[in-house]
Amino acid sequence: MNVGELLLFGSLVALANVCGGVLLARPGTFHRSKRALRYLVALGAGFMLSAIFIEIMPEVFALWAGKATSDVAASEGVLGAMTLLLGGYLLIHFFEHTIAPHFHFGEETHPEAVVRPSAAYTAIGGLSIHTFFDGVSVASAFVVDRKVGLLVFVAVLLHKVPEGFTAASIMLASGRTPARALGATLIIGAATLAGVLCVALLQTRATEAVVYALPFSAGVTLYVAASDLIPEVNHLEHKNPFVSLVVFVGVALFYALHVLIG
Ligand SMILES: [Zn+2]
Ligand SMILES: [Zn+2]
């Protein structure tokens, strides 16, 4: 995988963030796309979960325990990888939900919670740390294997439009202008690209960087799928039980692509 290709896929996922913001900045388009976005969140959650457990984790175990010469070394490798995974998960819990006073994925419908000037910015800051690792996930997956890279790229891409839309809606709910809302999607998009660049640069200096980046960013992705997207799906379920079924469609779509690309 060369740097040019990495940047191309990285730019595409970053651009999807801005697309989500553009949708919200145009109210007519937003109301028509609101329904489609719900399904995209559910589809993204199912696809992402499958990509983590079926695509990324086997690669992580191969990197950490594949060359172990004893059972003890293999289990130490698995322990190391799992510790990084937990670390990635907890990092996002800290920045999105401990530091930020109010954050959830999807449309911001609690303007009273983000009306304080700092609240919206802290939420965007937390989201930027998460999107940085979206970029790290895609890039390190491509460095390890092209097929894994493509599937992780699709997994991340699916939640990028709703993510940009989340960022823009936080800004609008806190009374910022549509231009500022769009600016917030540019920031989270740029953070995604920065994550891709970081892996690309580290890779040229230390080839083992991806050994650590892959399980850590998988922990971040796990948080996004299981603790940001799934609760959003369940929240929407009250209005439309069909949305939660779409998570399984995401899993099926992942499997179809897994077989097709393989
Ligand atoms: Zn809210
Ligand atoms: Zn994300």
Distance 124 CA to ligand 1 centre (A): 13
Distance 44 CA to ligand 2 centre (A): 10
Which ligand has the shortest distance to the CA of 235? 1
Q: For residue 183, what are the CA distances in angstroms to 38, 175, 177?
A: 23, 14, 10
Which ligand has the shortest distance to the CA of 103? 1
Is residue 170 within 8 A of residue 114, CB to CB? The reply is: yes
Distance 217 CA to ligand 2 centre (A): 11
Which ligand has the shortest distance to the CA of 101? 1
Give the C-alpha separation, 205 to 36, whole Å: 42
Distance 88 CA to ligand 1 centre (A): 24
Which positions ≥6 away from 239 have C-beta within 8 Å? none
Interval 138-161: pLDDT, tens? 999 999 999 999 999 999 999 999
Q: How confident is the model at residue 251 (pLDDT cuts 50, 70, 90)?
A: very high
Which ligand has the shortest distance to the CA of 106? 1
- The residue-averaged pLDDT of 87-104 equals 93
Q: Look over the chain and give the mean of its residue pLDDT values, rounded to a whole number.
A: 91
Q: Tokens at residue 189, please? A: 């998009």
For tokens 């998960």, the residue is: 89
**pLDDT given at position 38:** 86
Interval 21-53: pLDDT, tens? 888 777 676 677 777 888 999 999 999 999 999
Distance 42 CA to ligand 1 centre (A): 19
Which positions ≥6 away from 20 have C-beta within 8 Å? 160, 161, 162, 163, 164, 165, 166, 167, 168, 185
- The residue-averaged pLDDT of 47-61 equals 96
**pLDDT given at position 60:** 96
**pLDDT given at position 25:** 72
Which ligand has the shortest distance to the CA of 119? 1
Give the C-alpha separation, 168 to 182, whole Å: 6
Terminal-to-terminal C-alpha distance of the chain: 17
Which ligand has the shortest distance to the CA of 155? 2
Give the C-alpha separation, 234 to 117, whole Å: 29
